[in-house]
Copies of this chain bind each other. A is one copy, B any other.
């Protein structure tokens, strides 16, 4: 998606070969026009999949999740993240380890919002090691619902998340696929390579 790539080049900061900071447009300050375009793009890519619910995770997934939900005309649910969670009957939970922050969180969704009839589109801002996405897939499956796809804003293709999810047979659509952040430069995966990967 050229619009997102342009915004990343303009406003993103490469902090190291692993870390791209986009806190001025996506995950602290949010550009609402960008989010609206992102919602339109996901809605278009998944328009044939009969989505009934969007599932995302607080806090950075809420903006793109909401804009996609608005375009598709379905509700969005955001999973809550907690250090540890006392077991509550009416929650679907999963455990997610963040390598970036080196912490493990319980994530949860109230079971009243997902049923076995649901066709779920998962939305998140970053895909790196894939732990958050796998946790959300786990929660959707616990509800007996189907994951019709995963929509990601920025995929770090040099980390394993994308391959992990695709090996599970999941359809992953990433709007910006980054091959490398070496030497302070953002290199995108060429479309031709993306098809083969």
Contacts and interface: CB of A to CB of B under 8 A. Distances in A.
Interface of A: 23-24, 28-33, 35-36, 58-59, 62-63, 66-67, 69-70, 73-78, 80, 109-110, 112-113
A70 B29 contact: no
A69 B36 CA distance: 11
B24 A78 contact: no
Contacts of A76: 29-30, 32
Given A28-B110, A29-B77, A58-B58, 12 more contacts: A24-B113, A28-B80, A30-B62, A30-B69, A30-B75, A30-B76, A32-B66, A32-B69, A32-B73, A33-B73, A59-B59, A63-B66
A102 B63 CA distance: 28
Contact of A28 (B24, B31, B35, B77): B77
Contacts of A80: 28, 59
Nearest to A23: B110
Contacts of A23: 110
Contacts of A29: 75-77, 110, 113
A110 B13 CA distance: 15
A108 to B, nearest CB: 10
Contact of A62 (B24, B63, B69, B70): B63
A145 to B, nearest CB: 14
A28 B62 CA distance: 10
Given A58-B58, A59-B59, A30 B66 contact: yes
A66 B76 CA distance: 14
A78 B69 CA distance: 20
Q: Which of A30, A73, A77, A78 has the most CB of B within 10 A?
A: A30
A37 to B, nearest CB: 11
Contacts of A113: 24, 28-29
A78 B59 contact: yes
